[in-house]
Amino acid sequence: METTNIPQNVIKAILYIIALDNLQLSVGSGGVGTHKYEDWHWTPAESAYVTSLRLILEPLKELYSNKKNITTGQRDTVKKNIRLARDYSGHGLTGHRLLLKIAAFGTDNDWTVANIKLGTSLAKTPGKGKSESTAMLQPVLTLTKNKIGEMEISVASPEAPSVIRLPEGMRFAKVFRSIGTTMPTSTDAFVLYGNAKRGKIHVKFDGLDLSGTEKLYAWFYGIYESTKGELGQPSGIISAEILF
């Protein structure tokens, strides 16, 4: 019997795995150079499995959402790997007990992202259920315009990329920006630029020092904030050259 909390809905399952991979690779309690998965007593092989699963499923997420474009083979690949993930993570006889390890060694936030209630304090706070969607949702950022001195970025829900409204329970899609000649190595280099309205945010580059000869680039990522002030998972980073 499986004891896993991976959602039954395929798109939600993929988003769950992406969020779990982001979390397990984030900085652990030992500081820079350590990872969350070590706090949970996962092995490097178990960590690598989750990352490899994410690399298989994430590129197929949009295709699966648009059922007209996905092939039968791709659909089977998605379903097969999610099924294997359930077995790997928590099968009663052969599983690696990944989620049970998070329940035993994780924090309150870890439990929320991993959707773990049984045996944790979350089991006693049913009102916290909506925060699970916050923890799992990652906005999808796309550069839609790049003109002299400005850019436009669309911010869409991963569950409904064509819909401009915020997902249920979300107050803002916060957009962070970094400017430089090389890609930042840490999110510490990003600062909040603003909140996307109606699925878009207009970015201007007034006051930049253009005396150098190297090209300047802008990097962006987004994150949802719920009506309760909870922050979700950061989106992927997008970038473009600043035109002047």
Buried b (16+ CB within 10 A) or exposed e, 71-98: eeeeeebbeebbeebbebbbbeeebbbb
CA distances from 109 to 123, 129, 171 (A): 14, 13, 20
Q: How far apart are CA 164 and CA 161, in angstroms?
A: 8
Q: How far apart are CA 119 and CA 53, in angstroms?
A: 26
Query: What pLDDT, on the 0 to 100 scale, is given for residue 89?
Result: 82
Query: What pLDDT, on the 0 to 100 scale, is given for residue 95?
Result: 64
Instruction: Dump pLDDT digits (tens) for 90-133.
Output: 655 556 788 888 888 888 888 888 888 755 555 444 434 344 44
Helix H or strand E segment including 175: strand 170-180
| Beta-strand pair 140-147/191-195 | unpaired
Q: How far apart are CA 58 and CA 38, in angstroms?
A: 24
Low-confidence ranges of the chain (pLDDT < 50): 1-4, 123-133
Q: How far apart are CA 188 and CA 27, in angstroms?
A: 13
Both tokens of 112, joined, read 């929320």
120: number of Cβ within 10 Å: 19
Query: What pLDDT, on the 0 to 100 scale, is given for residue 107?
Result: 85
Q: How far apart are CA 133 and CA 152, in angstroms?
A: 27
Q: Is 26 exposed, middle or buried (0-12, 13-18, 19+ CB in 10 A)?
A: middle
CA geometry: angle at 164 spanning 159 and 165, to 5°?
85
- Are 243 and 148 in contact by the 8 Å Cβ rule? The answer is yes
Query: What pLDDT, on the 0 to 100 scale, is given for residue 176?
Result: 93
Query: What pLDDT, on the 0 to 100 scale, is given for residue 144?
Result: 93
Query: What pLDDT, on the 0 to 100 scale, is given for residue 52?
Result: 95
Q: How far apart are CA 232 and CA 235, in angstroms?
A: 9
Name the nearest CA neighbour of 187 among 36, 22, 53: 22
- Are 140 and 159 in contact by the 8 Å Cβ rule? The answer is no
Instruction: Dump pLDDT digits (tens) for 152-162.
Output: 999 988 767 67
Q: Which residue has the tokens 């930049």?
A: 208
Q: What is the pTM of this model?
A: 0.52
Query: What pLDDT, on the 0 to 100 scale, is given for residue 92?
Result: 52
